[in-house]
């Protein structure tokens, strides 16, 4: 069996965000209601002195979604000083035989599916008329989150803050903000002023968003904590909010909940439970809500399978016999 090889630009051309949003919605529901294999993420520390500061590797496996006859394994590297900072490959395997169906570059796929996961969280939890968003962390994921939010909420004002002022200025001129009122904030507090939505997408290892920063009706998406030791939102803020996660166990082991030194009792629900109607989401306009995402392998499979099937239909990519 030949293996289909897809580059990052080919994956980007194949994945239409609105179509993938629907596929991810179904996958989240399946993960929380019918999963048979627990989510797994394996951080791989790299040797100090030989790799850049803050660099690490990651293995995300396996990805399984009902009605997709494949599973996925993703191996990627995290190098904060590089562009993109996260890069790697996603491998699709035939579920019946284990044969490698496809090998695709995963940086765009990862950013897109994470942005759309944040959009699903905001759609389920944020005020329906939310218009003002604060983006804390102006990297690729900040841009992807904003693009996702624009699919589900009538965003018209963006304030961006980054500890690197040049990065924030680049964000302000990016196509993702076209048609919006955009301001580069000089401080975290300035960015948060009157924000309906807050997105934190940083490499932080200590909390910077506290209860004192929050106001009635606000929704927060926190994405940075995806391995042990990372934290963006402090314990007092999480304890004051309705907290929804992508996976209970991983949120405690290596996500926002564990990063804030809290336990699973602070978690209200998994996003898939809310999307399936098994658990409530926002119930009144005054609630403070949080979606804390670690990032899960089934999201990669949903995106990778969509790219693979469309590539086969359109004759995109190269076929290689890896056994030759």
Contact 205, 229 (CB under 8 A): yes
Q: Could you tell me the end-to-end alpha-carbon distance of the chain, in angstroms, rounded to an integer?
A: 10
Taking the C-alpha atoms of residue 278 and residue 271, their distance in angstroms, rounded to an integer, is 10
3-class DSSP state for residue 61?
strand
3-class DSSP state for residue 246?
coil
Taking the C-alpha atoms of residue 315 and residue 181, their distance in angstroms, rounded to an integer, is 40
Is 226 catalytic? The answer is yes
**Cα dihedral 129/27/221/238 (nearest 10):** 110
Which one of the listed residues 196, 226, 246, 300 is annotated catalytic? 226
Name the nearest CA neighbour of 301 among 85, 30, 78, 45.
Answer: 30
Main-chain dihedrals φ then ψ at residue 321, nearest 5 degrees: -90, 100
Main-chain dihedrals φ then ψ at residue 98, nearest 5 degrees: 80, 0
Helices 297-314 + 17-34 axis angle, to 10: 140
Taking the C-alpha atoms of residue 183 and residue 157, their distance in angstroms, rounded to an integer, is 8
Q: Report, as residue numbers or ranges, the catalytic residues.
A: 226
């Amino acid at each position: 069996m030949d293996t289909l090889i897809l580059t990052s630009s080919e994956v980007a051309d194949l994945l239409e965000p609105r179509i993938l949003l629907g596929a991810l919605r179904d996958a989240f529901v399946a993960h929380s209601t019918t999963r048979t294999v627990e989510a797994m993420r394996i951080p791989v520390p790299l040797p100090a002195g030989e790799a850049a500061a803050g660099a690490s590797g990651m293995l995300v496996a396996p990805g399984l979604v009902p009605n997709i006859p494949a599973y996925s394994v993703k191996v990627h590297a995290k190098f904060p000083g590089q562009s993109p900072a996260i890069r790697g490959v996603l491998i699709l395997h035939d579920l019946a035989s284990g044969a490698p169906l496809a090998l695709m570059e995963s940086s765009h796929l990862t950013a897109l599916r994470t942005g759309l996961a944040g959009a699903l969280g905001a759609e389920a939890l944020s005020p329906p008329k939310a218009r003002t968003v604060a983006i804390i962390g102006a990297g690729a994921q900040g841009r992807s989150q904003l693009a996702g939010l624009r699919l589900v909420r009538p965003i018209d004002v963006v304030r961006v803050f980054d500890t690197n002022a040049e990065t924030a200025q680049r964000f302000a001129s990016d196509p993702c903000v076209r048609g919006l009122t955009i301001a580069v904030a000089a401080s975290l507090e300035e960015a948060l002023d009157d924000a309906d939505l807050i997105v934190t997408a940083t490499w932080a290892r200590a909390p910077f968003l506290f209860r004192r920063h929050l106001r009635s009706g606000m929704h927060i998406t926190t994405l940075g904590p995806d391995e042990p030791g990372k934290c963006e939102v402090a314990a007092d803020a999480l304890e004051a909010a309705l907290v929804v996660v992508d996976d209970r166990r991983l949120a405690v082991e290596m996500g926002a909940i564990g990063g804030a030194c809290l336990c699973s009792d602070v978690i209200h629900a998994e996003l898939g439970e809310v999307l399936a109607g098994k658990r409530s989401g926002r119930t009144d306009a005054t609630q403070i809500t949080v979606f804390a995402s670690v990032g899960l392998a089934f999201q990669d499979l949903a995106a990778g399978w969509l790219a693979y099937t469309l590539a086969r239909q359109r004759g995109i990519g190269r076929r290689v016999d890896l056994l030759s």
